[in-house]
Amino acid sequence: MTAITVRDLSRSYGGFEAVRRVSFEVARGEIFALLGRNGAGKTTTLELLAGFQRPDAGQVRVLGLDPVKDRRAVRRSTGIMLQEAGFFPDLTVNQTAESWRAFVPSARPAFEALELAGLLQKAAVKVRQLSGGEKRRLDLALALLGRPKVLFLDEPTTGMDPEGRRATWEVVRSLADEGTAILLTTHYLDEAQQLARSVAIMDKGEIVTTGGMAEILAAGTGRVIFEALPGIDPSSLPLPVRVEGGRWVCSADDPDLAAQTLLGWAAAQGVRLRGLEVRTASLEELFLEVGTDA
């Protein structure tokens, strides 16, 4: 069942189109990653979906509702973790969660949300004493108070250490397993690759690549990389290679096969391919191929 539908969504600031004809869908239980470099329009899209901003054109439906017109109903079923939360620094973690509960209909107990976000042991600590990563966990705890059916996460693990990120991924995965639709933005491509079933890459307000993660990666190109071969002309190799500093790089749809071909050639020539690396397509490479003129 579809939880989020976005059709031809556009939003301008003055004459500047921050979001341009964006369309995608997120099903219940799906994790959808919205990627793009700074200023691509990710946060604006999220704010339009959350009903914080009104679209200039296009349509948004969250659980079948219009987030602007049906804001209260939408807010009841959604959890939102934006980039900058305004906390009161002198409240403790628990006091912060308790005071937020007052605004959330049928909220779960504060300790439960803190436990889910891995912050229960900091319940008595003042917010001003939390690390950056712990503040993100508090954001997450607050977003989970209302047992949301739809969760918007804007760069949820920024500032977290590797352990905190992994713990957060586990929480996000288990929420999706329970049926929560999750839309996340992130600058960590490994995070998107680890978590998301579907992905959209935005560039200058538009979606330039979208689809299932597995399909997108399968369609991408891999690479074979090795140290430059002294005294050999790169154009004499059986496959095209480009020179990147002291390394030669061969792009290929099937990098394993390309590596075999190159190794066979090297053996026949009596040379060794030093520092050989075979890389399958990654989200990072796909991302770097998009909008390289920025």
Ligand X SMILES: Nc1ncnc2c1ncn2[C@@H]1O[C@H](COP(=O)(O)OP(=O)(O)OP(=O)(O)O)[C@@H](O)[C@H]1O
Residues that bind ligand X (CB under 6 A): 13, 18, 36, 38-44
Q: What's the token pair of residue 58?
A: 């296009």
Nearer to ligand X, 186 or 198 (CB): 186
Q: What's the token pair of residue 14?
A: 């003055």
Write down the least CB distance from residue 245 to ligand X, Å. 29
Residue burial 221-254, b: 16+ Cβ < 10 Å; e: rest? bbbbbbebbeeeeeeebeeebeeeeeebbbbbee
Write down the least CB distance from residue 67 to ligand X, Å. 16
Write down the least CB distance from residue 38 to ligand X, Å. 3
Write down the least CB distance from residue 211 to ligand X, Å. 19
Nearer to ligand X, 18 or 225 (CB): 18
Provide the residue count of the chain. 294
Write down the least CB distance from residue 160 to ligand X, Å. 17
Nearer to ligand X, 106 or 292 (CB): 292
Rounded distance, CA 196 to CA 52, Å? 24
Nearer to ligand X, 15 or 230 (CB): 15
**Cα separations (Å) of 31 from 116, 192, 273?**
18, 9, 40
- H or E element at residue 249: strand 247-252
Q: What is the CB neighbour count within 10 angstroms for residue 287?
A: 19
Nearer to ligand X, 52 or 111 (CB): 52
Q: Torsion angle of alpha carbons 216, 190, 6, 9, nearest 10°?
A: -100
Rounded distance, CA 196 to CA 30, Å? 8
Write down the least CB distance from residue 201 to ligand X, Å. 11
